[in-house]
Amino acid sequence: PTIPSKRFTAKGGGVGMKGTVAALAASPVDANGGSIVAAGTWSRWIGLYDVHRSDKVISNWALPRPDELDGASGGQGVIQVRWSPCGRYLVINERHASGIVVYDIRGVGQLLCTLRGRNAPTQQKMTLDVFSGDPYAQTPSFEVWTGTHDGGVVVWEGVGSQAGVVEPSWDWKGHDAPVGSTALHSSGSVVATCSGGWGFGESPGAQATFEESSVKVWSIGG
């Protein structure tokens, strides 16, 4: 349970994480064999649970309002939570959001940065992927990859080493429809993108049409 009781008028008497749980992710297993489960809700709440050691919540909190994030995120409900490969950072992906928020969970335990620059003015689910950064860097970091509503792919490098608002490192136009999914191969040299979405004509009463639906595989670098 994410609240003490459903019998209270305010659902749990104002205590606990509210809303339908729409996203779950387990952190990488630590040296003791433990893992933290992160949960996100449609009502913009995040909860952390250590199911290996306790049935109690570690922490839960409401995400900042859009006006608290320098206009970088619309924020209309969590659709995905992803841990960084090192297990220190939690990436939170929301629908209808132009930004992605990153929390430092095992360090300072608070909002680290907002990744700005994703064009996503839609309720369509647009997922992201993460990839390990330079293992020899002085400050451990990772990469975040995601699609955009206008058919692009956006990449942020060095995530974890920067605070505040972070702009994209690079991007490219890969499709003529919203890119709903982006996935990297473990080698880091190949990425797959998937596009598709409903469109509407400009005339009154125009029928909905399904835009380009395709999967593309790209060679990165080299």
Q: Specify which residues 128 forms β-bridges with.
A: 146
Q: Specify which residues 89 forms β-bridges with.
A: 104
* Beta sheet of 214-219, edge-to-edge order: 179-184, 190-195, 214-219
Which residues are within 8 A (CB) of 181 and not within 5 positions of it... i.e. 6 or more apart?
Answer: 126, 127, 147, 193, 194
Report d(CA 110, CA 90) in Å as an integer: 10
Averaged pLDDT in 10-residue chunks for the chain of 222 residues: 65 69 94 89 93 81 80 81 94 92 86 91 91 79 94 95 93 93 93 84 60 89 66
Q: Give 137-192 as a DSSP string.
A: SSS--EEEEEE-TTSEEEEEEEETS--EEE--SEEEE--SS-EEEEEE-TTSSEEE
Report d(CA 55, CA 52) in Å as an integer: 8
Q: What is the pTM of this model?
A: 0.87
pLDDT of residue 72: 65
pLDDT of residue 16: 75
pLDDT of residue 158: 94
Alpha-carbon distances of 175 from 81, 130, 133, 178, 190, rounded to whole Å = 25, 21, 26, 7, 17
pLDDT of residue 12: 46
Which one, of 180, 215, 218, lies nearest residue 197 by Cα? 180
pLDDT of residue 13: 52
Which one, of 45, 121, 117, 132, lies nearest residue 86 by Cα? 132
14: left (phi over 0), alpha (psi -120 to 50) or beta: left
